């Protein structure tokens, strides 16, 4: 594996009966960066990430996480990789605080549990059984479990699902802080604003293939369209705000409107489906 890569998949394939879940996937993730994986249901996201996590075995291709094989070297990787457990994977009878402390004791240099609980606003629910937590609180607890061991690589599945806008911003702030200390973060999300805010690199998947990859700026182009016509002019590339304003003025003088395509527009163009 290249030293600058934390995760590297090359020509990875996985089949379930007649279904080709992954059809030759190439994927990389780097330290200190958030890499988002987007795709409609059935795109192959879960299969790809479970192969990275060592929960599934690829039929062919190469898979390396921190230079190691997720299946063969699972014992070495376990202390260095954090995984956000799905809601159904949390023990419902456990109390939130006890569960987080229990997981922290599995690691050599864990986060301060009290501080992490405060960041995730879990402190008031420390003595509450998981079964009595709201969906949003379970989501925060699952994120805490993924982060408490100070992993080198962390997989976050829908990290702010079920949270109100203010709580979502708190989660984003935590993710920003984790990235700043050099952790590799791989996340899935159905929230385009979350991806646009957090992601350094985006992979768009469908039908077991990577359809596009790049930064949000790379993927989102600038499009100008006449307000009362069926033709359009597309301008690709990165524009400074000053250049964009000049282009907007130029367009207005000619009866044109200028709009930026969103990441959701790109996703819809590539997959023909919305992310929801």
DSSP per-residue letters across 181-196: TT-EEEEE-S-HHHHH
Task: Give start and end residues of each alpha helix (H) in the chain.
Answer: 45-52, 74-77, 96-104, 113-119, 135-147, 165-180, 192-198, 216-219, 241-253, 263-271
For 4-54, write each residue's pLDDT tens digit. 899 999 999 999 999 999 999 999 999 999 999 999 988 999 999 999 999
Instruction: Kindly tell me the burial class for residue 197, based on how many C-beta atoms sit within 10 Å of its own C-beta (0-12, 13-18, 19 or more).
Output: middle
For 47-83, write each residue's pLDDT tens digit. 999 999 999 999 999 999 999 999 999 999 999 999 9
Q: What percentage of the chain exceeds 90 in pLDDT?
A: 61
Q: Which residues contact 159 (CB under 8 A, 6 or more apart)?
A: 84, 139, 143, 171, 175, 187, 189, 194
Give the three-state DSSP class for 30.
Answer: coil
The predicted model scores a pTM of 0.82
Strand partners, 186: 35, 155
CB 86 within 8 A of CB 143: no
Cα dihedral across residues 262, 266, 267, 272: positive or negative: positive
Higher pLDDT, 188 or 243: 188
Strand order in the sheet with 222-226: 233-235, 222-226, 256-260
Predicted local distance difference test score (pLDDT) of residue 190: 87
HSE-up of residue 133 (Cα within 13 Å, Cβ side): 30
For 147-180, write each residue's pLDDT tens digit. 999 999 999 988 988 888 888 898 999 999 999 9
CB 91 within 8 A of CB 133: no
Higher pLDDT, 267 or 157: 157
Report the distance separating Cα 60 and Cα 7, nearest Å. Answer: 16
Tokens of 276: 């929801």
Q: Is the pLDDT at 95 greater than 80, yes or no?
A: yes
Tokens of 230: 């069926």
Report the distance separating Cα 249 and Cα 125, nearest Å. Answer: 54
């Amino acid at each position: 594996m290249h030293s600058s890569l934390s995760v590297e998949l090359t020509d990875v394939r996985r089949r379930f009966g007649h279904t080709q879940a992954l059809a030759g996937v190439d994927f990389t993730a780097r330290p200190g960066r958030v890499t988002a994986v987007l795709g409609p249901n059935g795109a192959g996201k879960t299969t790809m990430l479970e192969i990275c996590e060592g929960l599934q075995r690829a039929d062919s291709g190469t898979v390396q996480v921190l230079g190691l094989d997720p299946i063969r070297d699972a014992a070495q990787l376990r202390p260095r990789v954090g995984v956000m457990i799905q809601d159904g994977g949390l023990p419902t009878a456990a109390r939130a605080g006890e569960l987080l402390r229990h997981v922290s004791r599995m690691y050599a240099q864990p986060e301060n549990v009290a501080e992490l609980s405060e960041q995730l606003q879990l402190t008031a629910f420390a003595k509450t059984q998981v079964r009595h937590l709201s969906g949003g609180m379970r989501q925060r607890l699952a994120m805490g479990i993924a982060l408490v061991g100070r992993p080198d690589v962390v997989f976050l599945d829908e990290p702010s699902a079920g949270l109100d806008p203010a709580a979502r911003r708190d989660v984003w702030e935590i993710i920003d802080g984790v990235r700043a200390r050099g952790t590799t973060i791989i996340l899935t999300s159905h929230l385009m604003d979350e991806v646009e805010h957090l992601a350094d690199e985006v992979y768009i998947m469908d039908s077991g293939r990577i359809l596009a990859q790049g930064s949000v700026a790379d993927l989102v182009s600038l499009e100008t369209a006449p307000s009362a016509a069926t033709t359009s002019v597309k301008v690709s590339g990165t524009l400074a705000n000053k250049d964009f304003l000049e282009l907007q003025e130029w367009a207005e003088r000619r009866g044109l409107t200028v709009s930026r395509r969103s990441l959701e527009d790109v996703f819809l163009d590539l997959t023909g489906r919305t992310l929801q």
